[in-house]
Chains A and B, each alone.
Chain A
Amino acid sequence: MSVLVYVENWDGKFKKLSFELISYAAKLAEQLDTVPIGLSIGYVDPKELEKLGKYGIKRIINLLNDNFKVLDNRFYTAAISSIAAKEEAEVIVMANNNTGKALAPRLAVRLKAGIASGVNRLPVSLDPFVVYKKAFSGNAFARTVIKSRVKVITLAQNSFELIESENTASIEDVQIDLDGNLHTTVVNEIQKQTGKILLTDAEIVVSGGRGMKSPDNWGPLVELANLLGAATACSRPVSDEGWRPHEEHTGQTGKIIAPNLYFAIGISGATQHLAGVSSSKYIVAINTDKDAPIFESAQYGIIGDAIKVLPKLVEAVKEIKSK
């Protein structure tokens, strides 16, 4: 028996999310009195793989095959399920991100497993196996029982604390043979921005709404974000108007994020917007309307005109930075 955790890499590197997954799987295995096994797919430098050991994993399987360079959902599913079967995994853990959402459902069918996606804590009961998952776009949690023998969990980002220890992991390189005909995805082109902090990775996000009044007023907001090492975001009307790029739209139909700190500047806080940001640990709201719903979700608020408040906020941050 084992808990198998799939950790994706980004150009051969891991992220905080990877360590959250490992920490979660290690704790879960402890609860189940079984072994946590990490699974990495495609070439990752041994030094990078060693980092995973610090978060409590004993074994890392480093799966290699020339076809892993391009993510093909069917092919990757075949690979993960064969390792899951070999290691008699009873729980398979993945991230609730693009890749996890692409692979976990296929894997669940392959393994005849029930799935709980967007899980945000360890199981509250093992028999029956009960987890909390997000529902109604952050407006509720569903206590979900998984009845199948094998279970698949996708973990919500930034919902589990990192647990570091002195532990080291053994790394096993495994070359896997799979039917190459299963791999049918061809990548023609990759368009990628570089050098910017990714919205989905950012610990701090500075976001603007219609209260910013014009696309010309974004200077101080971007400056604030740069000073704080934050990513910039916006509400839907702003991206619909073309004031800011669509990639910045956070909300139910845009990006769903869970930073430690979210600045909602000139954003009233419609249900659909909150659906994308309500998992933020802290929300700061700046809005002229004291009755704006965003203040119900915020821990800190300033009632005032964003255009006037922002330059002062920038000055205040500069002052602290200079100390």
Chain B
Amino acid sequence: MKILVCISNVPDTTTKIKFVDDNKKLDVTGIQWVINPWDELSLTRALELKDDASTGVQKITVAHVGLVGSEPTIRKALAMGADDAIRVNSEPYDAFYVAFQLSEAIKSEAFDIILCGIESSDFNGSSVGGMLAEFIGYPSASAVSGLKIENRQVIINREIDGGKEIITLPTPLVAVVQKGIAKEPRIAAMRGIMMARTKPIKVVEPCSMEPPTEIISFEKPMPRAACKYIDADDPGKLISLLQNEAKIL
């Protein structure tokens, strides 16, 4: 069995976001780039599955759409334990574009399970996984919080409102994963970091296509009114403000 994990390169989640160039662009000064948290958890789960010989998982590939500047993030995935990587050498213009490029880049290789994070922490599009599944015609499950392989069958926990469903889907499949898929992201060991240097990254050029959306500019949310403080000994005041001023109770 072969697993593909799609990874996105995002600003560290503690970054204070700022924009430049008339709010058209993200200010990248001093930004630490990391593997998108949900993709990192996907990769961790893929590695756990490979560690368990009974699953029959033999190989894990990571795929990414980005320019050469995102290679440190790909190397990090390889250091965590992925076997090889594919990078589509292009700006990731929008979700439609990225999913299309991924679908083209993996045409020559058959993956049994494709894992994508539920969203990227930068554009929060929640789209690439589902779009990729549709481009290649695979069944998909979203809001996946658990995935195991028993007797070559993939068993998935799918989150629903107020609970979860345990479902099965035939392979090949796309699973769009979220919290719960793995406990903590795997930390790359020194040996892994050394080995990652020689693992192959296949670079492919993008196929021509016009991205259907474009971000024109960014706006910060309206600042909230300054906090009104209430004496700790008089919480009744808080309740009365919520009732009479905010009119929310």
A298 surroundings in chain B (CB, below 8 A) = 224, 227
In the bound complex, do residue B235 and residue A316 qualify as a contact, i.e. CB atoms below 8 Å apart? yes
Stretch at the interface among B55-63, B70-78, B168-176: B168-176
Cβ-based interface call for A113 (8 A): yes
Besides A105-B128, A109-B96, A261-B248, 9 more A-B contacts (Cβ < 8 Å) are A101-B130, A102-B140, A108-B131, A114-B94, A139-B221, A187-B166, A187-B167, A261-B249, A304-B232
Cβ-based interface call for A77 (8 A): yes
Nearest residue (CB) in B for A199 is B162
In the bound complex, do residue B169 and residue A184 qualify as a contact, i.e. CB atoms below 8 Å apart? yes
Cβ-based interface call for B141 (8 A): yes
Q: Contact mask A277-294 → B, CB, 8 Å, 1/0?
A: 010011111000000000
In the bound complex, do residue A143 and residue B167 qualify as a contact, i.e. CB atoms below 8 Å apart? no
Q: Contact mask B143-187 → A, CB, 8 Å, 1/0?
A: 100000000000100011111111111100000101110000000
Cβ-based interface call for B216 (8 A): yes
Stretch at the interface among A30-38, A41-49, A161-169, A305-313: A305-313
In the bound complex, do residue A188 and residue B168 qualify as a contact, i.e. CB atoms below 8 Å apart? yes
In the bound complex, do residue A73 and residue B143 qualify as a contact, i.e. CB atoms below 8 Å apart? no
Residues of chain B in range 106-124 having any CB-CB distance to chain A below 8 Å: 118-119, 121-124
In the bound complex, do residue B139 and residue A271 qualify as a contact, i.e. CB atoms below 8 Å apart? no
In the bound complex, do residue B166 and residue A143 qualify as a contact, i.e. CB atoms below 8 Å apart? no
Say how far A254's CB is from chain B's closest CB, in angstroms: 6
In the bound complex, do residue B239 and residue A320 qualify as a contact, i.e. CB atoms below 8 Å apart? yes
Query: Given A98-B159, A282-B242, A295-B227, are A105 and B13 neighbors across the interface (CB < 8 Å)?
Result: no
In the bound complex, do residue A147 and residue B232 qualify as a contact, i.e. CB atoms below 8 Å apart? no
A103 surroundings in chain B (CB, below 8 A) = 130
What are 17 A-B contacts defined by CB distance under 8 Å?
A: A73-B133, A98-B159, A104-B130, A114-B96, A132-B219, A137-B121, A146-B213, A185-B169, A187-B165, A190-B163, A198-B162, A246-B180, A282-B246, A284-B238, A298-B224, A302-B238, A305-B232
Q: Contact mask A181-204 → B, CB, 8 Å, 1/0?
A: 000111111111110101011000
* Interfacial residues, chain B to chain A (CB-CB below 8 A): 13-17, 19, 37-38, 94-96, 99, 118-119, 121-131, 133-135, 137, 139-143, 155, 159-170, 176, 178-180, 210-221, 224-225, 227-233, 235-236, 238-243, 246, 248-249
B163 surroundings in chain A (CB, below 8 A) = 190-193
**Alpha-carbon separation in the docked complex, A37 to B142 (Å):** 26
In the bound complex, do residue A105 and residue B129 qualify as a contact, i.e. CB atoms below 8 Å apart? yes
A132 surroundings in chain B (CB, below 8 A) = 219
Nearest residue (CB) in A for B143 is A98
A114 surroundings in chain B (CB, below 8 A) = 94, 96, 211-213
In the bound complex, do residue A117 and residue B126 qualify as a contact, i.e. CB atoms below 8 Å apart? yes
Nearest residue (CB) in A for B229 is A301
Nearest residue (CB) in B for A10 is B161
In the bound complex, do residue A302 and residue B140 qualify as a contact, i.e. CB atoms below 8 Å apart? no
B242 surroundings in chain A (CB, below 8 A) = 261, 282, 284, 300
* Chain A contact patch, size range: 35 or more
A295 surroundings in chain B (CB, below 8 A) = 227
Say how far A190's CB is from chain B's closest CB, in angstroms: 5
B118 surroundings in chain A (CB, below 8 A) = 101
In the bound complex, do residue A116 and residue B249 qualify as a contact, i.e. CB atoms below 8 Å apart? no
A54 surroundings in chain B (CB, below 8 A) = none
**Alpha-carbon separation in the docked complex, A308 to B127 (Å):** 45
In the bound complex, do residue B17 and residue A73 qualify as a contact, i.e. CB atoms below 8 Å apart? no
A133 surroundings in chain B (CB, below 8 A) = 124
In the bound complex, do residue B143 and residue A102 qualify as a contact, i.e. CB atoms below 8 Å apart? yes
A65 surroundings in chain B (CB, below 8 A) = none
A145 surroundings in chain B (CB, below 8 A) = 213-214, 216
In the bound complex, do residue B235 and residue A143 qualify as a contact, i.e. CB atoms below 8 Å apart? no
Cβ-based interface call for A175 (8 A): no
Main secondary structure on chain A at its contact with chain B?
A: mixed
In the bound complex, do residue A105 and residue B124 qualify as a contact, i.e. CB atoms below 8 Å apart? no
B233 surroundings in chain A (CB, below 8 A) = 312
**Alpha-carbon separation in the docked complex, A260 to B220 (Å):** 20
In the bound complex, do residue B130 and residue A300 qualify as a contact, i.e. CB atoms below 8 Å apart? no
Say how far B240's CB is from chain A's closest CB, in angstroms: 8
Say how far B22's CB is from chain A's closest CB, in angstroms: 12
In the bound complex, do residue B141 and residue A185 qualify as a contact, i.e. CB atoms below 8 Å apart? yes
In the bound complex, do residue A300 and residue B228 qualify as a contact, i.e. CB atoms below 8 Å apart? yes
A27 surroundings in chain B (CB, below 8 A) = none
| Choice from B15, B161, B179, B232 contacting A246 with Cβ under 8 Å | B179
| Choice from B94, B217, B221, B248 contacting A281 with Cβ under 8 Å | B248
In the bound complex, do residue B124 and residue A143 qualify as a contact, i.e. CB atoms below 8 Å apart? no
Nearest residue (CB) in A for B238 is A300
In the bound complex, do residue B243 and residue A320 qualify as a contact, i.e. CB atoms below 8 Å apart? yes
A97 surroundings in chain B (CB, below 8 A) = 161
Cβ-based interface call for A69 (8 A): no
**Alpha-carbon separation in the docked complex, A153 to B77 (Å):** 32
Say how far A244's CB is from chain B's closest CB, in angstroms: 14
Query: Given A105-B131, A188-B168, are A143 and B179 neighbors across the interface (CB < 8 Å)?
Result: no
In the bound complex, do residue A140 and residue B19 qualify as a contact, i.e. CB atoms below 8 Å apart? yes
In the bound complex, do residue A96 and residue B229 qualify as a contact, i.e. CB atoms below 8 Å apart? no
Say how far A172's CB is from chain B's closest CB, in angstroms: 27
| Choice from A102, A136, A189 contacting B142 with Cβ under 8 Å | A102
Say how far B117's CB is from chain A's closest CB, in angstroms: 10
**Alpha-carbon separation in the docked complex, A112 to B96 (Å):** 9
